[in-house]
Homo-oligomer: A and B are copies of this chain.
């Protein structure tokens, strides 16, 4: 057994990328109405030009710019109305000089026209004639064919987590079956003889299980599916049985707890035994998050992760290592951090990357980041936090008044 490989975060991530390279990122097709928040597995290119025809973006008259050149309130141009375009229909109308056609918003421009004049700038002069009180630049009030999307243009890159407007663009293109990543299936095991289900009343010495609920919610928020979740007592055979079971059904198994020395060793030994690649990382130079164990099993394509028992540490490592890996491998872009001014000094841990929970407050013109201090093992340091800032391994700390980047908890 090759244990005790304490890694900095970057190294742990790199090892995971390397060893879990064959991890499954399968795809599936879903309907457009089910595609929100799913991650695109392939880029989407426009199969046709959008809009497919020259479309008016206003209510008004399609004109030839030359006919209204120099027109103004005091010197209107007079045009002959030769017809009207109906929404949803093609038009055979064609403008000769001095002619115009009424086109509603969304309607097709007739041939010969090169701009729209809004109805507000026109006046019916007679049944078949209008006065136009403004000039028009070529293309005004018109969306050209292909101006929104050109045929063949990249509209959405692979890795895009689909937002409502992306769904709208897919609708415009007639993409009704979308190729997205199948969600990872996750098994969450919380170990510890002290743990009881939240529905139970703890006896002295017992504590309700936080990690199962917090970690399941984190996975689900990311769009993953929970294959199973269990409280597991500190009995080697029980944990081995649960992990062996889970390998058949899961892309990722997270085992939290086992923070105490003896239990930590047991989790590491079991991961080393049940994962073909053995333990990749045993100990993370991250605060909080030190007692982290990472392994990968090639046969079942499963990542096995031992997370700290302290809830805040477990959730942070889940985010920084496992969700990071998932987002990286599915090509998702990083979320944009919030810039804020640090309210008080924060010390880093020598040689370790430190994640400091902060609350954001509106300051004068800027946001203020107020550190939330609390002991390991507390959950309220996280519930009070809007996000966290990072102090790098080689940084001593951050000083009050410094501008910092805060990653928001979602």
* A positions within 8 Å CB-CB of B: 32-33, 36-37, 50-53, 55, 57, 59, 85-91, 104-108, 119, 142-143, 147-149, 155-156, 163-176, 192-195, 198-218, 220-221, 234, 259-263, 309-312, 315, 336-339, 360, 365-367, 374-380, 382-383, 385-386, 403, 408-410
Q: Contact between B217 and A167 (Cβ–Cβ < 8 Å)? A: yes
Choose from B211, B263, B338, B409 the contact partner of A338 (Cβ within 8 Å). B338
Tell me the complex Cα distance, A147–B378, Å. 8
Q: Contact between B339 and A213 (Cβ–Cβ < 8 Å)? A: no
Q: Which residues of B contact A108 (CB under 8 A)?
A: 204-205
* Distance to closest chain B CB from A360 (angstroms): 5
Q: Contact between B36 and A192 (Cβ–Cβ < 8 Å)? A: no
Q: Contact between B386 and A336 (Cβ–Cβ < 8 Å)? A: yes
- For the complex of A and B, 7 pairs with smallest distance between CB atoms: A168-B214, A90-B204, A164-B217, A165-B382, A88-B194, A104-B260, A171-B213
Residue of B nearest to A403 (CB): B365
Q: Contact between B155 and A380 (Cβ–Cβ < 8 Å)? A: yes
Q: Contact between B377 and A169 (Cβ–Cβ < 8 Å)? A: no
Q: Which residues of B contact A214 (CB under 8 A)?
A: 164-165, 167-168, 171
Choose from B148, B173, B375 the contact partner of A377 (Cβ within 8 Å). B148
Tell me the complex Cα distance, A202–B148, Å. 16
Choose from B107, B198, B311, B386 the contact partner of A194 (Cβ within 8 Å). B107
Choose from B32, B155, B315 the contact partner of A164 (Cβ within 8 Å). B315
Q: Which residues of B contact A169 (CB under 8 A)?
A: 210, 379-380, 382-383
Q: Contact between B379 and A360 (Cβ–Cβ < 8 Å)? A: no
* Distance to closest chain B CB from A271 (angstroms): 19
Residue of B nearest to A339 (CB): B339
14 contacts across the A-B interface (CB closer than 8 A): A36-B217, A52-B204, A53-B204, A59-B261, A87-B194, A107-B205, A149-B380, A163-B221, A164-B315, A165-B214, A167-B214, A168-B214, A168-B382, A336-B338
Tell me the complex Cα distance, A32–B85, Å. 56
Q: Contact between A106 and B409 (Cβ–Cβ < 8 Å)? A: no
* Distance to closest chain B CB from A330 (angstroms): 18
Q: Which residues of B contact A379 (CB under 8 A)?
A: 50, 148, 165, 168-169, 172
**Contacts A37-B221, A204-B90 known; A375 to B57 CB distance under 8 Å?**
yes
Tell me the complex Cα distance, A220–B36, Å. 8
Tell me the complex Cα distance, A302–B310, Å. 46
